[in-house]
Amino acid sequence: MNVVVVESPAKAKTINKYLGSGYKVLASFGHVRDLPAKDGSVLPDQDFEMFWEVDTASQKRMKDIADAVKSSDGLFLATDPDREGEAISWHVLDLLKKKRVIGDKPVKRVVFNAITKKAVLDAMANPRDIDTPLVDAYLARRALDYLVGFNLSPVLWRKLPGARSAGRVQSVALRLVCDRENEIERFVAEEYWNISALLKTPRGDEFEAKLVSHLGKRIQRNSVTNGDQAATIKALLEGARYGVESVEAKPVKRNPGPPFTTSTLQQAASSKLGFSASRTMQIAQKLYEGIDIGGETVGLITYMRTDGVQMAPEAIDAARAAVLDQFGPRYVPEKPRFYSTKAKNAQEAHEAIRPTDFNRSPDKLRRFLDSDQMRLYDLIWKRGIASQMASAEIERTTVEILADNNGEKAGLRAVGSVIRFDGFIAAYTDQREEGEAAEDGDDEDGRLPDINAREALAKQKVSASQHFTEPPPRYSEASLIKKMEELGIGRPSTYAATLKTLSDREYVITDKRKLVPHSKGRLVTAFLENFFTKYVEYDFTADLEEKLDKISAGELNWKDVLRDFWQDFFAQIEDTKELRVTNVLDALNEALAPLVFPKREDGSDPRICQVCGTGNLSLKLGKYGAFVGCSNYPECNYTRQLTSDGGAEAEAGGSNEPRALGKDPVTEEEITLRSGRFGPYIQRGDGKEAKRSSLPKGWTPASIDLEKALSLLALPRDVGPHPETGKMISAGLGRYGPFVLHDGTYANLESIEDVLSIGLNRAVTVLAEKQSKGPGARGRTAAAAIKELGDHPDGGAITVRDGRYGPYVNWGKVNATLPKGKDPQDITVEEALVLIAERAAKDGGGKAKAKKAPAKAAKAKSDDGAAEKPKKAAAKPKAVAAKKAPAKTAAKAKTTKKSAT
């Protein structure tokens, strides 16, 4: 018997059926070990030695694998076909060697791009060894993300309270969003006029032509800049005679695009289906791992983390055969189509995302898939088959028209297009993805009537319309992923995780599918741009990604890359130790002037306090983050929050006056929008009995109206009785976010919109999925350590932390609140020992318990995770004393492991 190790139990079950009784297939459930979330897990001074930890769940799984390998004939490592999958195989093999169960048994690595019987059997027949350069690239990426997260995040905590953490790729992605917001704020609208004429042919057909020249000068979009100029041209056209100078009909061919890569799939799913990047990858993972099709579990698509655009030769042949069968011979091009990627640093190590069998058309699978799976599979199938279809044939007609008014002449042009042969468009509606440039003819869908050269035209109407240029649009998830790919930032497996991190940390909020940087995200970006400029530069990040690719190709030594990076990075970290908070605030005041000092309607100086009239406004840093305050404090106590939409909203927030939204139609009580110490909230009525609700993540004060306020105040709401128990299911917004609740069981929802709209069927499904995963750990994560004081005489570190109710001293399980008014940066170890002793005495026995548990260091979630893609949630590390590291920080970065989704 041979043992085969895969990543997920779903794949294990399917592959075991393919291989038969001579094999035992076991799942690792993603990563089996990771760097402990504590300082000292990567030691640059010891040639970047890395310390790995196996969590409790993985220990049991590794024991099962080890027991099976003991009595086996050989081991096949069949984890995913990418850098992360290679790393998991390496980790499994390393642990098995340490358990001494391998001996002289043969160990082989197999990879398959699709979970079909043929793909799996072919892979098993062609094994290889573990790809060492690929593992080295993983180790380098993991170490880089760890070193940035564990050393840069504590700098943010010390110099920029309220900031969560920073990461290598996440910080650069955040900069893209913030830079776009800066462009929008600096944008100055310019006036321009569009001029056109509605004309009629001798046969009575009307069409519109646009002005393209005036008195021999070419007219472009912004050429006519004022009403007087537009009126002059309009007058000329009103009195002119019109004649057709030329009619040119030009055939144009449009070729299909390649099959999907990870990024193009995420872009198309966002633009056409409204899916987030993470939702797209969750659904794609299920389609890849397999769906029950009539009693047989079958993988429906190839591996979904790829930047390759080519299909395997047999897949191309199958696609062409399917085109012939379903569309006819005219739709099959003479030769197969081959594609190459334009993305920077693309590896093209795998196939593009395609159906495993083109004969499984969406209609044949409709009854086996849920709605979202069906929609995504339909998109993948259509794009895949269209990539091997004939070009669309379009006839584009351009009509040039001369307007003559007593020798004053102007030129007009009318353009129309007609599809003569639909080609690939018959399979894949070729609408542009968000952010894609227009191709020839894309902007002209209209069809022109029959128009002949040299014939006269009758004027029906001349129009001159005023317009203003618009700022560049905010990024959507789709357009941000496209931009990251163009710049070579991140990799296919990191895009979704990076975007989720930005959202989870509330650095970015999503408003109408657009990414809006939160004030705390803009503060972090401005801080990094001023004091860690190099590490948020696009080219630097892309070059580092290219070095990682060269490591995987065996062209660079991974530790040489780490040494080069660490030398400069550590020096910059050390330089910030002398950085004063006043220096930080001065830099941020200038960098974020439009946000901090929005223009006032009366034209007064936005930096002068509007309450006292003499004080200067400036950023201030408090334990709940940054705010704007007056320099005359405490005589003038004017403060206001920073908002993501600046301007009037910011000033309204500074008045601390409630904003009336309307009356509750049932109780007749006034509903108001207010600002409190924890941010904006909704209130109904007054006094102690008033009901309140904080604004959920993603909702800005400017977007709140009476309808939204009433929906929040109505929570929790009853969804309906559970069909099995008859007990009521409710949906609400709690301490840990949106949820549904049934009989004591909570299940998380993705957004507040889900809370307000979820129906009974979906709620039952969400609860069932939660129960199938088993009980999970609950409770708040440890608060961030903002200062280390040293070791307690009885062992264990003493730290100062910033908690929900203010700063406190922590030692093991003992938490002692600081006296009111005490600056946490001024606390000494002697004062802390007194506070700890008093707190332990009050708790009664707390001190004894505390001796057994040294302090846990503060966590900082690393940027795109510790790895290229999330494999599973990071296990909570055992409490261990922080090791001494070169950066001398005790900060922990919460790492993201690879999960089945």
Contact 453, 247 (CB under 8 A): yes
Q: Which pairs count as long-range contacts for 123-126, CB under 8 Å and 24+ apart, including other chains?
A: 123/78, 124/19, 124/76
| Backbone torsions φ then ψ of 608, nearest 5 degrees | -95, 135
Question: Please, which residues have CB within 8 angstroms of residue 50's CB and are 6 or more apart in sequence?
Answer: 35, 41, 42, 43, 139, 142, 143
Single-letter code of the amino acid located at 114: A
Sheet of 745-748: strands edge to edge?
Answer: 717-721, 728-734, 737-742, 745-748
Predicted local confidence at residue 676, as pLDDT: 65
Predicted local confidence at residue 116, as pLDDT: 87
Provide block-wise average pLDDT over 10 residues at a time, the chain (901 residues).
89 88 90 85 92 89 92 92 90 93 92 90 93 93 88 80 76 93 90 95 94 92 91 95 95 93 91 88 91 86 90 93 94 92 56 93 92 94 95 94 94 93 87 43 66 94 94 91 87 83 86 87 88 86 88 92 91 82 85 84 85 87 74 82 50 54 86 74 84 80 83 90 90 83 86 85 83 51 63 78 74 82 73 84 52 36 37 36 36 37 29
Predicted local confidence at residue 747, as pLDDT: 87
Nearest to residue 714, comparing CAs of 726, 701, 731, 727? 731
Q: Exposure string (b/e) for 696-711, b if CB count within 10 Å is 16 or more? A: bbbbbbbebeeebbbb
CA distance 504 to 328: 49
CA distance 743 to 218: 72
Contact 485, 496 (CB under 8 A): no
Whole-model pTM: value is: 0.69
Q: Pairing relation of β-strands 2-6 and 74-77?
A: parallel
CA distance 489 to 393: 37
CA distance 124 to 364: 30
Contact 900, 285 (CB under 8 A): yes
Predicted local confidence at residue 772, as pLDDT: 66
Nearest to residue 478, comparing CAs of 274, 285, 260? 274
CA distance 417 to 443: 10
Catalytic residues: 303
